[in-house]
Amino acid sequence: MGRGTRNCCRQALRSLYLWLRDDPRVRGGARVEVRAEQPEPGRMGSALDCVQLVLDSGFQLANLAVARAAWRATRPARPEITFERDGVKVTLSGQDPETAARLLAELER
């Protein structure tokens, strides 16, 4: 990954983190953190971190879908985002908010 691409990804990650942290729909039911990926022993670390949400039991993933759609609408390029819960991954790239909410609801099952 080139330096410009890496910087762009870091900026998008930081933007997503700040957006989720400040969104009242998310802030009320989740703790938003940036977490560094741990490299394998003997390997250099990744240039990218991830945004981690620690959810309260009553958190509605539909709120996350709405917050993600609102953030995504502010981005010049439409980044792909992967959500994971209990080993189940959902990747969103170009979905409208309703489809994103439906896909994220799959994580609640």
Q: How many domains, the chain?
A: 1
DSSP string computed for 38-56: PPPTTSPPPS-EEEEEEE-
Per-residue pLDDT of 96-105, as tens digits, reads 777 777 777 7
Question: Residue 82 sits in which domain range?
Answer: 3-108
Per-residue pLDDT of 35-91, as tens digits, reads 776 666 776 665 557 888 888 877 777 788 888 888 888 887 777 777 777 887 878
CA nearest to 105, candidates 66, 72, 48: 66
The pTM (predicted TM-score) of the whole model is 0.64
